């Protein structure tokens, strides 16, 4: 595969970050159940938490190949951090970017893309796993808002997230 100079630069900078800021600590984070908050903050400052989000919404405005290269290099240093970054980019930012109103994008997408807030995606349920067709959680309209009824589990970043896509 032929990469652009910009993609090579992103790959190389993410590789260096991963080797310096993730790999040396990954084992200890796993052993002690430590959430990599500082590393994620730094990744946010590097633009890795909103890579394909347009700059007007706080993102890096990059292409999907750059995102793939970033995830690959982060995963080489720490698989758990890579999963968090993937969920942030593809689900929290991606769904908000595609379906959010301008007000929601202002309130949520901008800080998500800048890494100031973290998002999570709630799919898995105790009795169905991650089978989206079998979930039983429902949103029921109650006046001007919705009430969610159901149970979710195994939510990546859930305990540390500021917003959730359900």
Cβ(104)–Cβ(96) below 8 Å? yes
Give yes or no for residue 1 having a pLDDT over 90: no
Burial of 99 (0-12, 13-18, 19+ CB in 10 A): exposed
Confidence tier at 142 by pLDDT (50, 70, 90):
very high
Q: Using CA of residue 120, residue 126, residue 129, residue 135, what is the dihedral sign?
A: negative
DSSP codes, 117-156: S-EEE---BTTTBT-GGG---EEEEETTEEEEES-----T
Residue 166: which of 81, 111, 91 has the closest Cα?
Answer: 91
Confidence label for 127 from pLDDT (cuts 50, 70 and 90): very high
């Amino acid at each position: 595969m032929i990469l652009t100079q910009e993609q090579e630069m992103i790959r190389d900078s993410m590789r260096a970050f991963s080797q310096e800021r993730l790999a040396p600590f990954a084992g200890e984070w796993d052993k002690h159940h430590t959430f990599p908050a500082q590393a994620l903050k730094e990744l946010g400052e590097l633009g890795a938490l909103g890579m394909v989000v347009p700059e007007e919404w706080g993102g890096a405005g990059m292409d999907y190949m750059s995102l793939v290269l970033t995830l690959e290099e982060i995963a080489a240093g720490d698989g758990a951090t890579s999963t968090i970054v993937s969920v942030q980019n593809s689900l929290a930012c991606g769904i908000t970017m595609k379906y959010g109103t301008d007000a929601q994008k202002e309130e949520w997408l901008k800080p998500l893309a800048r890494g100031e807030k973290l998002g999570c995606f709630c799919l898995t349920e105790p009795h169905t796993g991650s089978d989206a067709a079998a979930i039983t959680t429902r949103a029921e309209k109650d006046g001007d808002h919705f009430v969610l009824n159901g149970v979710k589990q195994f939510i990546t970043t859930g305990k540390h997230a500021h917003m959730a896509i359900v």
